């Protein structure tokens, strides 16, 4: 166990804390937890690279921590009516489709390397930014609907769909090559 992996575990542990704060309407506290989680995400990657402490465990835990944080945030905020349900469906559906694709490749005994596409990193950034913006509106202003938020919703939806298509195309190519 090293510092980057401990930071990733911290992010996983903070996810239910974030959900509890959201459910209690403690939006300022939720914002703080989300910011700490986001900073720990950047810090764990930076430390893993600079300290040469990249591990197989970290390679698995980091995306799990990201997905746990984002899925929990989107789902909870949608249930609370603070985030559009349609956007949450797009975000979670993309992840489910990717997992289904990985399962199909495994069942077909097709070897593959899990490498995030550039668009996937952009997608994660926009999804994090979307949650951050919603939490800022809730935590700093007490709520309300801002027209400017719809732009970030649509951009997030677009990059999420595009990244899902990139992974779908990658999966189809792997299947076609194996036959």
Using the Cα atoms of residue 10, residue 11, residue 14 and residue 15 in order, give the sign of their dihedral: negative
What pLDDT is recorded for position 56?
A: 82
Mean pLDDT score across all residues of the chain: 91
What pLDDT is recorded for position 26?
A: 95
What pLDDT is recorded for position 144?
A: 65
Torsion angle, alpha carbons of 28, 30, 89, 109, to 10:
160
What pLDDT is recorded for position 81?
A: 93
Averaged over 31-56, what is the pLDDT? 88
Cα 108 to Cα 17, 60, 100, 175, 179, distances in angstroms:
39, 21, 12, 8, 10
Averaged over 114-136, what is the pLDDT? 91
Domain total for the chain? 1
Averaged over 110-133, what is the pLDDT? 89
DSSP 83: S
Both tokens of 36, joined, read 């700490």
What pLDDT is recorded for position 49?
A: 86
pLDDT grade for 48, boundaries at 50, 70 and 90: confident
What pLDDT is recorded for position 178?
A: 85
What pLDDT is recorded for position 145?
A: 65
Averaged over 102-131, what is the pLDDT? 89
Q: pLDDT (tens digit, 9 = 90+) per residue, 149-175?
A: 899 999 999 999 999 999 999 999 989
What pLDDT is recorded for position 50?
A: 87
pLDDT grade for 129, boundaries at 50, 70 and 90: very high
Domain range for 33 is 3-178
CATH code of the domain covering residue 144: 1.20.120.1760
| pLDDT at position 97 over 70 | yes
């Amino acid at each position: 166990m090293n510092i980057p992996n401990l930071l990733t575990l911290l992010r996983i542990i903070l996810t239910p804390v974030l959900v509890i704060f959201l459910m209690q309407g403690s939006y300022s506290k939720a914002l703080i937890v989300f910011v700490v989680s986001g900073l720990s995400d950047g810090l764990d990657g930076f430390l893993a690279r600079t300290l040469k402490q990249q591990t197989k465990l970290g390679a698995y835990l980091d995306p799990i921590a990201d997905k746990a944080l984002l899925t929990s945030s989107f789902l909870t905020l949608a249930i609370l009516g603070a985030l559009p349900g349609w956007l949450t469906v797009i975000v979670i559906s993309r992840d489910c489709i990717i997992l289904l694709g990985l399962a199909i490749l495994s069942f077909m005994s097709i070897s593959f390397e899990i490498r995030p596409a550039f668009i996937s990193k952009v997608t994660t950034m926009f999804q994090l930014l979307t949650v951050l913006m919603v939490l800022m509106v809730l935590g700093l202003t007490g709520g309300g609907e801002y027209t400017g938020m719809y732009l970030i919703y649509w951009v997030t939806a677009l990059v999420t769909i595009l990244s899902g298509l990139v992974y779908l195309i990658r999966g189809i190519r792997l299947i076609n090559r194996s036959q």
